[in-house]
Amino acid sequence: MSPIITGLLLAGALSLFVITMSGRAGVLLAMKKENRLDRIPYRAVQLLRFGLGQQRMVDPEEFTPGLFHIFIYAAFMVLAVRTIMMFVMGFSSTALEVLTDMSHPAWDAAPPLLFLYRAYLLVKDVVAGLALAGVAYFVWTRWKVKPDRMSQSWEAYLILGFIAGLMLTEFLFGGSHMVAARAAAEQVQMGATQVPTTPAALVWWEPITSVVGLGMMPLGATAAHVVGVVSFFIHLAIILAFLNFLPLGKHFHIITGLPNVFFQRTHSTGKLPTPNLEKEEFGAATVKDLTWKNGLDLYSCTECGRCQTHCPTYITGKPLTHKAVNQDLKHWLWDNERWVEEGYGPNGIKEPLPEIIGSALKAETVWACTSCGWCEQACPVFIENVPRLIDMRRYQVQVKAEFPPEIQRVFEGMERQGNPWGIGQDQRDEWASDLALPTWGDDGGPYEYLFFVGCAGSYDDKQKKVSRALVKILREAGVSFATLSKQEMCNGDSARRMGNEYLYQTLAKTNVESWNSMGVKAVITQCPHCFNTIKNEYPEFGGEYRVINHTQLINELLNEKRIKLSSVMNTTTKLTYHDPCYLGRHNGVYDAPREVLKSIPGLEVVEMQRSKREGFCCGAGGGRMWMEEHIGTRINHNRINEVALTLKHAEDPTTPFPDAADRKKPGMVGDYKEQGGAGIVAVACPFCSTMLNDAKNDTGREQIQVKDITELVADALEPQHKGGTVSPSPVVSAKPE
């Protein structure tokens, strides 16, 4: 080929790439430092599974597009080696001859190497063909299907064109050499006394290229050679154009995606980063208050829209989609690189950076999130959306004192009375006034468990029944436990997720200091938010406890035959289970609640279309329990509609379900407006209970009962001790799921 042309192309393209990347890298270096080099072996395994292995791409809800994406990804990985070969061919005629002619004498001395090279060419041919199939699928999907999650853009078609061009030029380049080899053999044959073997039209190591070469035979050797040379340089030009286009759009993830997977957090998604308030880390005011990993997240967003599929805010018309947030922040960074790096604003003079809210995002966007975690569960490159938004809330609350007005009373209640309702602390144990419960540290002991009742379990009238039901079960099983009675304080979850980090840390430190002084080692919770906070976030303050959710404990007691259940219903009752986000998605507890429900005689458990990892939020997480919904439809209405449809379908299978695979309008299952569908929706969270009860009342679905799993178990409990209220027996261990 031509070393001069190849060299000029390479030098020019790499120079432009370095200039662009220096700006992108400079922004990351200007952002807040963060250590992401802990647990290297774990990170390496995750990189193999989810980065190189693309495991999340073939999640059930997006299996087909994920599979075709893997075809294209595999082609890029395999053809990277081929691309290097082609650049070498551009500089060296010897390399060109050897790498395109399997009969070249250079291969005679290394038959094993020739076999390996042919095997590579076979893999290259197959994955390039699959990549073309992937391109065709995505063109058809964008042009005809138009899934809701995909944004229509010229960039997508350009990139698909680049990919198709790379594969086609590879086939044409290889095919031209097959034409040349056959023409040369035929010339030799014409002047030979003995007839040599003419190269086969099809070879096993390049099956698709062989077919292309066969199709090029009518062109003749000269024309085929021209096509090959042109294809060669077009291939190199596309590669270099592609390289320079990557940092300018959503396909930047081809460069940053694998590092982003490697640098993912190594703990539960329910755990938020803890700022150092003594160092005045009061949240994210400007983009420089975000960490470099936050910036890498923005660079890595593929705009695939998977984060929208079950996002409660997007489905119900709120001003928040995490894809849009990522794009707004990313483009603001790119448009203001010098401002971020050097402090020079758009007018070329030094000036402070503007606040994120007001310049890149709107306040209502930041406050809309329920922190359900679907976006992070669905993201193939592990973008951390929720912590970033919470950090912006922290600044709004702690520095600017600008937040939804209805949460002011919640903060005051937690500060003054230790609960978000602001009800007197002296009333905290009234729910158990007739139960003679032991108080930790005051009488009896030692106890295996601290039963952390929680604010809802102590003050909410409906949840008080759940607390009493749980006590009944614990006593029947002989579990050793005590409460804190009037000394119990809120765990602080809502304060933290609404941005009041100071209040949260005050409550957390107070609780940990108190519990540690009492010798608490294990904690039972009936609220997933309490469970998540105490289990995942209290250890940072020295609170190392064995924390178990009530559904896990009940499941253990059933398995150990500590309790026995009998039917309390005359006929089989239809029941569906609503997964709490902070129990399921954030902590992976899916099986225990279902096993408990299936052990209750007289219940037929049916799954909702959106369940387990795809479960739909009730709308209360992220502090939204205490805020009004002013925009779009209510999230809890969408969920109760799905409950009704699920129960109706279980009762009458002719009632149609929307196609779960139809991505043009996600959340259709929550659009069900018909009445009917009697039965029970089981919950395992006081927030979910409140939201679904409100929703059934709002929508007139009185035929649906909202019941905590604990209530159902307590109703079905077959007493082995009179009244089920015996005194606690010695320690009984229960292992968390």
Q: Which residues contact 278 (CB under 8 A, 6 or more apart)?
A: none
**Residue 228: alpha-carbon gap to chain centroid:** 44
Q: Which two tokens stand for residue 211?
A: 């077919």
pLDDT computed for residue 720 by the predictor: 76
174 and 100 Cβ atoms separated by less than 8 Å: yes
Crossing angle for the helix pair 501-518 and 385-398, to the nearest 10 degrees: 100
Strands of 589-658 (E only): list them.
603-606
Give me the residues paired with residue 682 across strands: 577, 707
What is the C-alpha to C-alpha distance for residues 616 and 309, in angstroms, rounded to an integer? Answer: 10
Using pLDDT thresholds of 50, 70 and 90, give the confidence band for residue 94: very high
The three-class DSSP label of residue 433 is coil
Instruction: Find the angle CA(554)-CA(558)-CA(560) to the nearest 5 degrees.
Output: 115
Give the chain's radius of gyration (CA, Å): 31
pLDDT of 224-273, one tens digit each?
999 999 999 999 999 999 999 999 999 999 999 999 999 999 999 999 99
Residue 575 — φ and ψ, nearest 5°? -145, 140
- Which burial class, exposed, middle or buried, applies to 139 when counting CB atoms under 10 A from its CB (0-12, 13-18, 19+)? middle
* C-alpha pair distances (Å), 507 with each of 510, 529, 643: 5, 15, 36
The dihedrals phi and psi of 275, each to the nearest 5 degrees, come to -75, 155
Whether residue 735 has pLDDT greater than 50: no
Structural domains of the chain sorted by starting position, each given as residue range(s) with its CATH number in brackets = 35-188+199-254 (no CATH), 265-403 (1.10.1060), 415-563+720-736 (3.40.50), 564-718 (3.40.50)
pLDDT score recorded for residue 264: 97
pLDDT in tens, 291-304: 999 999 999 999 99
Q: Which amino acid is at 407?
A: I
Strand, coil or helix: what is 443?
Answer: coil
| Whether residue 467 has pLDDT greater than 90 | yes
- CA-to-CA distance for 329 and 298, rounded, in angstroms? 7
Residue 169 CA from chain centroid, whole number:
37
- State pLDDT tens for residues 58-76: 998 889 999 999 999 999 9
pTM of the model: 0.91
pLDDT average, residue stretch 177-193: 73
Residue 725 confidence class, pLDDT cut points 50, 70, 90: very low
How confident is the model at residue 443, as a pLDDT?
A: 66
**How many CB atoms lie under 10 A from the CB of residue 131?**
24
pLDDT of 144 above 50: yes
**Hey, what are 486's tokens?**
């009037």
Two tokens at 151?
């944004």
Per-residue pLDDT at 197 exceeds 70: no
How far apart, in whole angstroms, are the C-alpha atoms of residue 37 and residue 589? 28
Backbone angles phi, psi at 733, to 5 degrees: -85, 145
Give the mean pLDDT of 350-360. 96
- In sequence order, which residues have a C-beta less than 8 Å from that of residue 327 and are 6 or more positions away? 301, 303
**CA distances from residue 468 to 232, 409, 553 in whole angstroms, order as listed:** 76, 28, 16
Could you tell me the pLDDT band of residue 567, with boundaries at 50, 70 and 90? Answer: confident
Helix, coil or strand: residue 646: helix
Which token pair is 64?
């087909």
pLDDT grade for 724, boundaries at 50, 70 and 90: very low
Question: 53 with 380: CB under 8 angstroms?
Answer: no
* Structure confidence at residue 727 (pLDDT): 39
Q: What is the predicted pLDDT for the residue at 188?
A: 67
Query: How many Cβ atoms from other residues are within 10 Å of residue 523's Cβ?
Result: 23
Virtual torsion, Cα 488, 490, 491, 497, nearest 10 deg = 180
Tell me which residue of 216, 123, 125, 121 sits closest to 172, measured CA to CA: 216
Distance (Å, whole) CA 648 – CA 276: 51
3-state secondary structure string, 84-96? HHHHHHHHCHHHH
Supply 195's token pair: 């007839």
Q: What are the distances in angstroms from CA 734 to CA 71, 330, 460, 560, 721? A: 46, 47, 27, 9, 20
> Alpha carbon of 281 to those of 274, 340, 351, 389, 504: distances in Å?
9, 19, 22, 15, 14
**Own/partner long-range contacts of 40-46 (Cβ < 8 Å, ≥24 apart):** 42/266, 43/262, 43/263, 43/264, 43/266, 44/262, 46/261, 46/262, 46/264
C-alpha span between 501 and 275 (Å, rounded): 8
**Cα–Cα dist 460/427, whole Å:** 12
Q: If pLDDT is split at 50, 70 and 90, which confidence band does 733 have?
A: very low
Is pLDDT of 307 > 50? yes
- Contact call for residues 501 and 394 (beta carbons, < 8 A): yes
Q: What is the spatial distance between Cα 91 and Cα 89, in angstroms, rounded to a whole number? A: 5
Mean pLDDT of 3-29: 94
pLDDT, average across residues 711-725: 77
Give the contacts of 613 (CB within 8 A, at least 6 positions apart).
Answer: 377, 584, 585, 590
Amino acid at 418: G
Which 8-state DSSP code applies to residue 535? I
**What residue type is 170 in one-letter code?**
E
Share of the chain above pLDDT 70, in %: 94
Which residue reads 């052990």 in tokens? Answer: 599
Kindly report the three-state secondary structure assignment for every residue of 209-267.
HHHHHHHHHHHHHHHHHHHHHHHHHHHHHHHHHHHHHHHHCHHHHHHHHHHHHHCCCCC
Q: What is the rounded average pLDDT of the residues 462-482?
A: 97
The mean pLDDT value of the chain amounts to 92
> Residues 381-407: pLDDT tens digits?
999 999 999 999 999 999 999 999 999
* pLDDT tens by residue, 669-692: 999 999 888 999 999 999 999 999
Residue 332, CA distances (Å) to 33, 295, 346 in order: 20, 11, 12
Residues 6+ apart with CB under 8 A from 412: 422
pLDDT given at position 199: 55
